[in-house]
Amino acid sequence: MAETDGTLLVTGGAGFIGSNFVRHVLTVEPKVRVVNLDLLTYAGRRENIEGLPDPVRHLFVHGDIRDQKLVHTIFSGEHPEMRSRHFGPVTRVAHFAAESHVDRSISGPEAFVSTNVSGTLALLEGARAAWGARRDVRFLHISTDEVYGSLGPEGFFTEESPLAPNSPYSASKAASDLLVRSYVHTFDLSCVITRCSNNYGPYQLPEKLIPVVIDRVLAGEAIPIYGDGRNVRDWLHVADHVEAAHRVLQKGEIGEVYNIGGHNEWANLDIVGLICDLIDTRTGRSGSRQLMSFVTDRPGHDRRYAINAGRMGREMGWKPRYIFQTGLAETVDWYLSHPEWVKAAKKAL
């Protein structure tokens, strides 16, 4: 599917990954119009979409993906702000909106089922009503490698790996994946799915590992490390992720799944050590590694994730650009240079 002049709906476009995707699309597609639908929960921030390239082609709509009336109005192009700005009906969707923090899903799983499952259902119904079985449209559903469960010390997740989610978060994402699949097969809806590894980079809230560690080191506070700290994740810079997701939106085969990985496996303990050293070097302090504190492991903590992203290379011509050490250093520098953003984000948590 080639670049179009139509309207692209990005859900969750004021969040971490979604806002980076909006910036990417506005940069690489000079004619696209973007409707950015975000509820602005703690995870979505207007500051994330300030200074966008060519903002006249961007329309922010404050709303809930579970609001079926609103969703149908946006898909049809009948939303008042879309009409006043001459945005046509939606022809593509990039669905990023989700509750995504595993710890929060353990303490309150209901919100994850409501947003991730019911919200995805509302969007699929909006697309079905607007598009039917058209093939010149596309619904991109953004998912996670956590739906596959846990790996042993060897091997990789592929697109054929069975779904075996172990947390309420990953279970809610697996359920939404299966809903998308069902709409392809039952209603002939033009959908594709991507499953990515752990993201990092600018605008990530200080509740996820890397920004939490940066914040704790700068504050001189204890850095909590679950279990023995040897849980392994494949880390993907958000800039690599949004480029890959955009390619799948343009060229992905309807009904297929594409794994997006960074080819960067790191144990949590080693990442914490790297961050401590980076901040010590940049601030002139020393001994930050002594802040590391081991705490009781969280329930259902998967031991290892690793993605085989070979299909993205073969079919999309994509591979990650970032080496983890380089991307992590840039990320640390971003947080060091945006203390006001961090301060405001922490207040919202």
Residues with a catalytic annotation lie at 145-146, 169
Distance CA 181, CA 132 (A): 15
Q: What is the DSSP string of 193-250?
A: EEEE-EEESTT--TTSHHHHHHHHHHHT--EEEETTS--EEEEEEHHHHHHHHHHHHH
69: CB partners within 8 A, 6+ apart? none
Q: At what angle do helices 119-131 and 168-187 cross, to 10 degrees?
A: 20
Beta-strand (E) ranges in 76-205?
90-95, 138-144, 191-196, 198-200
Token duo for residue 282: 């940049």
Let me know: does 202 contact 20? Beta carbons within 8 Å: yes
- CA–CA gap between residue 271 and residue 275 (Å, rounded): 6
